[in-house]
Amino acid sequence: MAAQVFAYIEHKDGVADDTALELISAAQKIYPDALITAFVTGAGADLDAVCNDLAVSYPEVWKFDNEALAYPNAEVIRKLLVAVLPPDAVVLVPHDTFGMDLSPGLSIKLDSVFVSDTVDFEGFEGDNLKVIRQEFSGQVSTHVLADISAGAVINVRPGVFQPDESKSAAGQVVDKSSEIGELSAARRFLEIVEAEAGDVDITKEDILVSVGRGIEDQDNIEIAQELAEAVGGVVSCSRPIVDAKWLEKARQVGTSGQTVKPKVYMALGISGSFQHLGGLKGNPFIVAVNKNPKAPIFQVADVGVVEDLLDFVPVLTEKIQEGK
Amino acid sequence: MEILVCIKRVPDTAENEIEVSSAGTDIERDDLVYSVNEWDNYAVEEAIQIVDNVGGAVTIVSLGDEESEEIIRREMAMGADNGILVSDDAFERSDGKGVASILKAVVEKGNYDLILTGAQADDGAGQIGGMLAAMLDVPYASVVNTIEVLNDAQLKIGREIEGGNQEMNEIALPCVLSIQTGINEPRYVGIRGIRKVASVDIPVLGAADLGIDAAGVGESGARVKRIDYFVPQLGEGAEILEGSNEEVAEKLIDLLKAKGGIK
């Protein structure tokens, strides 16, 4: 019998998240002949629209329709999953702020293993699935053996597995709403507070001069500002700069900040965590300046300069100004 | 409010180039600069601020070898009241579930209203808080970036979700929260602060003290095992420009002009 895998589907406003198709590719990397079931919770017409779309790619779609599931509260959904999943289930979940909320506790309640933030799978050694993860902000990778014989919850990094949109599953939607039990939780969702708009909109800029931890001091932001002025771009940043309150949140590039699509992206003193790179779309020309030659940013950049940005950038700015 | 904060001693990735050892079984640990995990430091600051506002005590716990005592002392110098070092050879190479079960035993020896962890540490798994909450059967929230104490039984918390938005929740106490960076501005710890707590007693608890069956934790209990480290090759990698800063700048300017990077 082919192995059964469940994929937890995130969706919003009646549209499935990009990860919905990525999880199919991930499941097939684990078991090439996997029977994959989409697990979808929500309420009303939006949920129906998502389920019908998913049936194009998934052979089976389990639908759980209930007003209490209208907003995805991981504390509620964990309870539902524990109640309805078969024993020893293998469950794939996107590794984002929902998956981080749901999965570690889910693995405890299912008494199965948890493997976080996976980026690839390399088959089996006995009962052990061989998984690739990253550690130390992406500076090194590891092989991990996970004994999934009694089930597993596996968080999959978004954007890593390529969706295969060519295949059609002609699947069916199975309404499982009648199996929903009691859905109360000791954590209650109140509201979403939207991010405040800043004085610039970095999502509309063609040239971004982006600074990270390597800028070292608030006073040094001026160095990036001067380069941005010289090239006709604006300054953006990575998360540590916002944490330090040196620039406003609206200038942060990354999954927890803005998604930008510049033509040219200059990453100054940015290591290049996947959360940061997750906010960078549209295949820009990336220039990385970092004194650490092991920084992951050099793996994705087009051009790299291994140098302290505090030494290099003023020279660059001056040369650009001279040439004008 | 009685608050327990779980902290970890990690190599500081901002200060170190992490390299794989020649055997591939570990990273090169000689000459690494270690510090308290950055997320955990924010969690400690948050705990201290809560106790400053509503009263109570902050206890720091770290699972590690005797070197972890130094980071416990550092966080106590910030203003935490108590420290506990959890250390035993039997705990080495525990997987996430093993670590969470050890911390569960620590929690059950106290009487805590709130348990904080960092949202993630050096291995990027972000799993201990959620596992611990499930084992204790208490509510959990991850990537928390605001905490407001509503009353003795409830907190209002914000979670940092995608797109810079914030998800607001009410959560019942006792609970476990994993803390995101940026939730506060952790205070500076000076030499004088460290000196003040230099002679404070930090008890060391092992498997026997905690009533933990050694076979269920450590390497023998782990069902998720890291077997090696290697350097990822994600793409072709950047073309590294060589030369003096002036030469590199000139080469870069030519490339930027070609790509529309200079208006």
- Domain borders along chain B are 2-221
- Could you report the predicted ipTM of this complex, rounded to two decimals? 0.95
The CATH architecture annotation of domain A202-323 reads 3-Layer(aba) Sandwich (3.40)
What is the H or E stretch that residue B178 is in? Answer: strand B175-179
Distance from C-alpha of A83 to C-alpha of A81, rounded to nearest angstrom: 5
Averaged pLDDT, A236-245: 95
Which class in CATH covers the domain with range B2-221?
alpha beta
Report the pLDDT value the prediction gives residue A71, as an integer from 0 to 100. Answer: 96
A256 has a chain B CB within 8 A of its CB:
yes
Is B261 within 8 Å of A287 when comparing Cβ atoms?
A: yes
Q: Provide, rounded to the nearest whole percent, the portion of chain A with pLDDT above 70.
A: 99
For residue A168, what pLDDT is reported? 83
Per-residue pLDDT, A197? 82
Tokens of A145: 């053996």
pTM of the model: 0.94
Smallest CA–CA distance, residue B59 to chain A, in Å, is 23
Please state, for a pLDDT cut of 90, what percent of chain A lies above it: 90
pLDDT confidence band for B14 (50 / 70 / 90): confident
Inform me whether the pLDDT recorded for B1 exceeds 60. Answer: yes
Answer for the pair B84, B106: CB distance below 8 angstroms, yes or no.
yes
d(CA A126, CA A280) in angstroms, rounded, equals: 39
Q: Work out the pLDDT band at B18, boundaries 50, 70, 90.
A: confident
CATH topology of domain A4-179: Rossmann fold (3.40.50)
Q: What is the pLDDT, as a whole number, of residue A185?
A: 93
Residue A120: Cβ-neighbour burial (10 angstroms; 0-12, 13-18, 19+)? middle
What is the C-alpha separation between B60 and B116, in angstroms, rounded? 10
Give the pLDDT confidence of B219-242 residue by residue, as tens digits.
Answer: 999 999 999 999 876 567 899 999
Specify the domain boundaries for CATH 3.40.50.620 within chain A.
4-179
Q: Listing from the earlier edge strand, what are the strands of the sheet with A140-147?
A: A120-125, A128-135, A140-147, B224-230
* pLDDT grade for A2, boundaries at 50, 70 and 90: low
Question: If contacts are CB pairs under 8 Å, which of residues 137-166 in chain A contact chain B?
Answer: 137-147
Mean pLDDT of the A100-104 span: 98
Q: In the prediction, which pLDDT does B31 show?
A: 86
Tell me, yes or no, if A321 comes closer than 8 A to chain B by beta carbon.
no
Cis peptide before A284 (omega within 30 of 0): no
| Mean pLDDT (whole number) for A214-225 | 96
